[in-house]
Amino acid sequence: MKLQASGVRRRASVRGAAAFVALFSFSACAGAGAGAGAGAEPGPPARDYLVFVASEATDQVALVRFGPGGARVERRYEVGIHPTDPDGPHGVAVAPDGRHYYVTTGHGVPYGYIWKYTTDGAQPVGRAELGMFPASLDVSPDGHYAYVVNFNLFGAMVPSSVSVVSTDEMVEVARLTTCTMPHGSRLDASGAHHYSACMMEDFVVDIDTRTFEIARHFRVMPRAERGYSGAPAAMHHHQPPGEPTTTRCSPTWVTPTPDGARLFVACNAHDDIVEIDVASWRMLRRIPAGEGVYNLDITHDGETLIATNKRGRSVSLFDVASGRELARIATQRPVVHGVTVSDDDRYAFISVEGVGSEPGTVEVIDLAARRRVASVDVGQMAGGIDFWRSEEGVR
């Protein structure tokens, strides 16, 4: 396999993304027939796209290749420490330089880990113990830190935390108590802010990564939207009488726009998406979404927002400018989980958990044609998913 013209995951680089898309479009037009307009018939991909996806029930991470030859599992890698009990890999993130990927484990045992593997061969490089049930994670643009939410679903609803891990040393350098069941976190493109959702408290928390301190938080509860400074825990002690205390949004994901100016927050319980202006720390709008909207990702050009609908068994594409839902694409199996966008903004890769012994699935959506163009079975309970790179297609 030749590895020419390799583009890697580049959540942080807007300028680089634009250059890459332009070149790729030319290349695609020259030989592959891609770049179709909205609703157009999808053409076959000219390149191969590689994504990692974690299967929580089978202790595996699969490397999925999608290209001219369709989608297939290139290789499955075992994850974890315990040979007979489940380790439960949940979150996956590829380092910006593409040389390593990180996996969180910990569903089923008291404490979890973050693991570091080489992308080429999946050799374990290191691991660090974190808190209860580490879940989604993201890596800073400079590659030096991974941020992991400790979801903690051990029954008691108690505040949990976000772990900051030095990826060079593979050691947790900070643990910030944020809220109950933190989930769905992302760094902005500059790496200066880390945002996480508080599933059981209707908050979004903003961590200042320069100081490793909670800078502010935002209440995303319908009809009670409001920004606050400081940590949620501090607010609880000074909660004004009469303010609602129940959870009506249950935010499960937050993702910033590529320019970092706005946030989109998935309200899983309220079936809508909250858009927040980062500078003013005010809500801009609520966008109606699919049933059980769960995870989000946004194209590098900032134009399309992709949302998985966990209960709705579908994926929604939104026009960011208008907030209009462009398409709702049914998935083949239930419990839709994660989403990651290819480096050229052409495809969205969706992880679907399935129920029970149903295989997990990675479904590939052509964002131009707004259709599913491929799918491949992976291990059960497919959750965390991240794009690695594209390369010259193998037919």
Residues at the contact surface with another protein, assessed by CB under 8 A: 4-8, 10, 12-13, 16-17, 19-20, 23-24, 26-27, 30-31, 55-59, 78, 81-86, 88, 95-98, 107-111, 128-129, 141-144, 153-155, 166, 168-169, 171-175, 210-212, 335, 343, 353, 355-357, 379-381, 392
**Token couple for 295:** 């995870």
The H or E element spanning position 177 is strand 171-180
Q: How many CB atoms lie within 10 A of CB 157?
A: 13
Residue 197 C-beta: closest distance to another protein, Å: 17
Q: Which CB atom, from 189 or from 283, has the smaller least distance to another protein?
A: 189
Residue 241 C-beta: closest distance to another protein, Å: 31
Residue 26 C-beta: closest distance to another protein, Å: 6
CA distances from 390 to 81, 204, 251 (A): 31, 33, 32
Q: Phi and psi for 172 in degrees, rounded to 5?
A: -75, 120
Q: Which CB atom, from 232 or from 360, has the smaller least distance to another protein?
A: 360
**Token couple for 191:** 């790496």
Q: Which CB atom, from 248 or from 311, has the smaller least distance to another protein?
A: 311
Calculate the dihedral angle through the C-alpha atoms of 113, 119, 120, 122, rounding to the nearest 10 degrees: 20
Classify burial at 227, counting beta carbons within 10 Å of its beta carbon; exposed 0-12, middle 13-18, buried 19 or more. middle
* C-alpha neighbours within 13 Å on the C-beta side of residue 138: 26
Q: Which CB atom, from 318 or from 388, has the smaller least distance to another protein?
A: 388
CA 130 to CA 166: how far, in whole Å?
A: 12
Q: Which CB atom, from 170 or from 326, has the smaller least distance to another protein?
A: 170
Q: Which CB atom, from 185 or from 209, has the smaller least distance to another protein?
A: 209
- DSSP per residue over 249-316, as a string? S-EEEEEE-TTSSEEEEEETTTTEEEEEETTTTEEEEEEE--TTEEEEEE-TTS-EEEEEETTTTEEE
Classify burial at 271, counting beta carbons within 10 Å of its beta carbon; exposed 0-12, middle 13-18, buried 19 or more. middle
Residue 348 C-beta: closest distance to another protein, Å: 19
Residue 110 C-beta: closest distance to another protein, Å: 5
Q: Which CB atom, from 86 or from 227, has the smaller least distance to another protein?
A: 86
Residue 100 C-beta: closest distance to another protein, Å: 10
Residue 249 C-beta: closest distance to another protein, Å: 19
